[in-house]
Amino acid sequence: MKSIGLAARNLRRSVRRTSLALAIVCGGVIAFLLAGGFISWILVDMRESTIHSQLGHVQVTRPGFFREGLGDPYAYLLPESIAALGAASDPRIRTVAPRLAFSGLISKGDDTVSFVGEGIDPQAEAPITRAIVIVEGKDLTNAPEDSVLLGEGLAANLGARPGDKVVLLSTTAEGNVNAVELNVAGLFQTITKAYDDTALRAPIEVARRLMRVEGATSWAILLDHTNSTDAAIADLRMRLPAAEFEIIPWTELADFYNKTVELFTKQVGVVRFLIAFIVVLSISNTLTMAVIERTSEIGTAMAIGVRRRGILVQFIWEGALLGVLGGVLGVVLGFILSEIISAIGIPMPPPPGMARGYIGQIAISPGLAIDAWLLAFLTTLAASIFPALKASRLNIVDALRHQR
């Protein structure tokens, strides 16, 4: 405690130098928090948008459906009943929605384009697809059964608007040609522009009638919270036989999200390294100047019996105090700035693969705040080692004669 008190006194002796050092540490922490908080918000928003637009938290299929069954999906049909999932008895499961994948051609007047379709139960699907934006018209929950939702890009290619009639033409599971005429209920937009350019959604009974099949190609499950995914998957794998059902977490299907996380994680690592490098150089230079100015004082202390180890510890404590104070101050100011910036919003242009921009925010989690504080503490601690070693190795006689 005496060493800490003496280190604090030494820092107060040079207010200008200490203030500059604290400003450097504090600025580094704020920069790390704002950059990391912005990336954290993007990843969380992308995660929830991915879950709540297409995938849900868990997908249940026949074994090998996503690896081998996309060419012949109707060889991997699930039964219509979803009682085997025990959705009613598991409080973590909010909804289970059957889906039927199909594809073919869609026509309006003389225009015909290909599509990738999904038959859904509108009521069961509603909680899962809350991130799907209806840009025009209405969704299928309030539409007649013979309705269809078109992706915004697909509708633009056809020149279709809500209220228009379109014809879906497809090859059935037996290899025959079948067609249905549907009314366009609305146009939707997701986070993926490529999906919107080719996708449509129809009631699952319409899809079954078009493809002349029963059942579903997958069941999409939405949980009460994303953190419940691993536990729910473990329970489902115990409940459902592996020979008949494959339980797939959303992370295995979200390839774009996974690659984005990997990219942004590396970017945060680069930012952390650059901030640490700047802080180490600045604090090391500041403490080295303090050693030079206090050379005579160090010599006097060693002459009256203070050991070299005591001098070493003294300067290390000064660096540690700078890290503690600068880290705390930086975290507090960073959190305040993040709240102000988030309230104002950060206008962002459309990222690659998206049609519209968005308003960004900054989300500072407790883990990120602790990481920022540790960055300040460890870097200042490391920066103090060289000046402390230099001070502890001074020759007593030379130090006493310094500036005389």
Among the candidates 244, 272, 300, a domain finishes at 244
Residues 372 and 287 in one domain: yes
The 3-state DSSP class for residue 111 equals strand
What distance in Å separates the CA atoms of residue 117 and residue 139, rounded to the nearest whole number? 15
Paired tokens of 249: 């977490």
Q: Can you list the residues of the chain whose pLDDT is less than 50? A: none
- The full DSSP string for 304-345 is TT--HHHHHHHHHHHHHHHHHHHHHHHHHHHHHHHHHHHHH-
Decide which of 210, 244, 278 is a domain's last residue. 244
Residues 171 and 272 both lie in one domain = no
Task: List all residues 6 or more positions away from 328 whose beta carbon is below 8 Å from its beta carbon.
Answer: 373
As a whole number of angstroms, the distance between CA 95 and CA 84 comes to 14
Distance, CA of 138 to CA of 154 (rounded, Å): 16
Same domain for 87 and 178, yes or no, is yes
pTM here is 0.78
Contact 30, 333 (CB under 8 A): yes
pLDDT, residue 389, reads 80
267 shares a domain with 223: no
What local confidence, expressed as pLDDT, does residue 150 receive? Answer: 93
Q: Are residues 190 and 263 in the same domain?
A: no
State the total domains in the chain.
2
Q: What is the pLDDT of residue 282?
A: 84
Residue 250 lies in a domain: no
Parent domain of 187: 63-244
| Final residue belonging to a domain, choices 175, 210, 244 | 244
Summarize pLDDT for 240-271 with one digit per residue, the tens: 888 888 899 998 888 888 888 888 889 888 88
Residues 299 and 179 in one domain: no
Residues 6 or more apart in contact with residue 226 via CB below 8 angstroms: 47, 48, 51, 57
Q: Do 128 and 39 share a structural domain?
A: no
Exposed, middle or buried, 152 (CB in 10 Å: 0-12/13-18/19+)? buried
C-alpha 378/C-alpha 316 separation (Å) is 11
